[in-house]
Amino acid sequence: QQQVKQSPQSLIVQKGGIPIINCAYENTAFDYFPWYQQFPGKGPALLIAIRPDVSEKKEGRFTISFNKSAKQFSLHIMDSQPGDSATYFCAASKPQGGSEKLVFGKGTKLTVNP
Amino acid sequence: KAGVTQTPRYLIKTRGQQVTLSCSPISGHRSVSWYQQTPGQGLQFLFEYFSETQRNKGNFPGRFSGRQFSNSRSEMNVSTLELGDSALYLCASKKNGGTQYFGPGTRLLVL
């Protein structure tokens, strides 16, 4: 049972483009939605995260849009650069007394061409 | 500040063997979680340890086990290895209630 569905599987954009990656979740108990970036040979690194009490969060060129009623959230990368080429994962977790069991989407491989 | 370190980085085992992977968390982080990453299943949560106690676990068979030491370092063990256990095993540490920081992973190949 996949609790977080991520699309697309892969994405190719030109430098300066705005790739958008979408995720949908099922469990309404989720209250924390992070995005991770992973380069080959490295572990995932936290990019940006959001909680359901806000509809949008920006950090630098990265923006999360959150739609609680639709149970969907998305990552936008403004002015994308070749260095942004990586695999991006959305995730979700629910409150468990300080514990955090992340449920991940399957990932999106982003390629930004120069 | 040093990041999460995992050893070894690469490992080759044969079916039926067992393996132990090690994770040293960021200094001050008492929570350590383990994840399995495969091309087919993606990233899946194995278990989390906090103050030497397992406080959360995923849906993996009992062949997968772990422990945490008093200095917060953690080990995970997989017994009776199967071909399907070939994966990147990731460790993540955090302060209680904080953000998870991942290590580079241990790539396990089971032949």
| The predicted structure's pLDDT at residue A2 | 62
Could B43 and A46 be called an inter-chain contact, meaning their C-beta atoms sit closer than 8 Å? no
Could B90 and A44 be called an inter-chain contact, meaning their C-beta atoms sit closer than 8 Å? yes
Nearest CB neighbour to B56, from listed A42, A96, A106 = A96
Q: What is the pLDDT along chain A (114 residues), one digit of tens a residue?
A: 568 999 999 999 999 999 999 999 999 999 999 999 999 989 999 999 999 999 999 999 999 999 999 999 999 999 999 999 999 999 999 877 778 889 999 999 999 999
Between vectors from CA B4 to CA B15 and to CA B94, what angle results, nearest 5°? 110
The CA-based diameter of chain A, rounded to the nearest angstrom, is: 45
- Please tell me chain B's helix, strand, coil percentages from 3-state DSSP, rounded to the nearest 5: 5, 55, 45
Cα gap A31→A97, rounded to integer Å: 13
Q: Does A46 touch chain B (CB under 8 A)?
A: yes
Cα gap B101→A30, rounded to integer Å: 20
Cα gap A60→A78, rounded to integer Å: 9
Could B56 and A104 be called an inter-chain contact, meaning their C-beta atoms sit closer than 8 Å? no
| The predicted structure's pLDDT at residue A47 | 95
User: Distance from CA of residue A98 to its chain's centroid?
Assistant: 22
CA dihedral sign of residues B4, B63, B36, B14: positive
| The predicted structure's pLDDT at residue A98 | 76
Residue A24's contacts (CB-CB under 8 Å, 6 or more residues apart) are A4, A5, A70, A71, A72
Most B CBs within 10 Å, among A99, A103, A108, to test the B interface:
A99
| The predicted structure's pLDDT at residue B97 | 75
User: Distance from CA of residue B30 to its chain's centroid?
Assistant: 15
Regions of chain B with pLDDT less than 50? none
| The predicted structure's pLDDT at residue A44 | 95
What are the chain B neighbours of A106 within 8 Å (beta carbons)? 42
Could B102 and A44 be called an inter-chain contact, meaning their C-beta atoms sit closer than 8 Å? yes
How far off is chain A from B19, nearest CA to CA, in Å?
Answer: 20
**In the numeric block, which tokens belong to residue B36?**
């399995």
| The predicted structure's pLDDT at residue A1 | 54
Between vectors from CA A34 to CA A73 and to CA B22, what angle results, nearest 5°? 145
Cα gap A20→A24, rounded to integer Å: 13
Q: Does A40 touch chain B (CB under 8 A)?
A: no
Could B99 and A49 be called an inter-chain contact, meaning their C-beta atoms sit closer than 8 Å? yes
